[in-house]
Structure 1
Amino acid sequence: MSPAPLTAEAFAPYGTVIAHRGETRRHPIRLDHGDAGRDGAIASWVTRIDAAIGGDTAHEITAFERHPHSDQAFVPLSGQRYLVVVCDGTADDRPDPATARAFVAGPGQGIVYHRNAWHAGMQVYDAPAEFFVQMKRVAAGPDDEFVALASPLRIACPEEAPA
């Protein structure tokens, strides 16, 4: 599979692209932080990734994750390109690698994964990279679900990633 450029339309089933669009000063971004009645708090942090993927070999995705109680936002702070890999769920509520889609996000694009959207962990083409991350942390119940794949999903290196 080869990653495509990240667009709001292509990514819409899985989340929201964070980028300014239109002529107005503000462009609102929807974040669903889950059930208001559940205990929890909005958690925000900066994450750093020191190792880049890329080169001239394919990258392998070995697991998918999702967050059952909240959308999860990633906003790049250091202007890097990064890989976004998402997939649908199966009838038995597992990630379905056969439906996977891969995107290359360029500088100036953040993302919001919808609550329960299966996605691969953050991978960057340019390192080091830093992201502002925000999601709801719930006191009762797990906020993160990780599922290893039976066989790795191979993502080709993009020939022309956005710069």
Structure 2
Amino acid sequence: MQILRMEPLTREAFAPFGDVIEIEGARHFPINGGTTERFHDLAGIDVNEAGGRPIVSVFRAQPRAWPFEIAMMERHPLGSQAFVPLGDAWYAVVVAPTGEFDPTRMRAFRAGRGQGVNYAKGVWHHPLLVFERVSDFVVIDRGGGQPNCDEMVLDVPWRLAHAADAPAALA
């Protein structure tokens, strides 16, 4: 079985797959008479394909158990999908580039406190992966009448490396 190791989630490393949503390093400025700081334009939400519209939902993810196998992936061909955690538990992000799925091009990221992700249209990704506790996420994605989720089962599952297997910077 192939092993998929997590790396830190950074804007640069995740750029081929979409946006990291975080205030660290974001463009910001005061609004509302200086009583609020606006962290501006954190993700490119793309939902208008084929008459779609943006929708906001809350997803409640149940914790997964270790060891964890990546046995399926999904993508949304008609729009982006953003996940913003409402809590402070870390979560795993597993992605692969758009186009024909290639398991050798999968990457795994450990998203830390205050980090969300916005999967670009067509990016392969695993559904929510939380491990510590039940976790809620605000999700901004595409609503509309057309199907917008392709799922596939991997021919051979990959094992996601546990945080204990990862470099100290991720633990």
Relative to the length of structure 2, the TM-score reads 0.82
Q: Bigger CA drift: 21-30 or 112-121?
A: 21-30
Distance 1:152-1:161 versus aligned 2 partners, 3 A rule: farther
Tell me what 2:97 maps to.
88
Letter in 2 for 1:135: D
Structure 2 residue ranges without an equivalent (≥5): 30-38
Distance 1:24-1:66 versus aligned 2 partners, 3 A rule: same
The SS at the match of 2:104 is helix
Tell me what 2:17 maps to.
14
- % identical equivalent positions: 35
Alignment equivalent of 1:32, drawn from 45, 49, 61: 45
> 1:81, 1:30 → 2: CA distance?
20
Tell me what 2:57 maps to.
45
Does structure 1 conserve the Cα–Cα contact (< 8 Å) formed by 2:5 and 2:160? yes
> 2:86, 2:17 → 1: CA distance?
22
- Note the C-alpha offset of 1:45: 0.7
Q: Bigger CA drift: 17-26 or 95-104?
A: 17-26
Alignment equivalent of 1:153, drawn from 154, 158, 169: 158
The SS at the match of 1:127 is coil
> 2:65, 2:169 → 1: CA distance?
12
Alignment equivalent of 1:142, drawn from 147, 168, 171: 147
- Note the C-alpha offset of 1:43: 1.5
> 2:45, 2:86 → 1: CA distance?
22
Larger fraction in helix: 2
The SS at the match of 1:51 is coil
Letter in 2 for 1:32: I
Count, aligned residues: 155
Tell me what 2:36 maps to.
none
The SS at the match of 2:28 is coil
> 2:100, 2:133 → 1: CA distance?
31
Tell me what 2:84 maps to.
75
CA RMSD of aligned residues (A): 1.9
> 2:52, 2:132 → 1: CA distance?
34
- Note the C-alpha offset of 1:69: 1.0
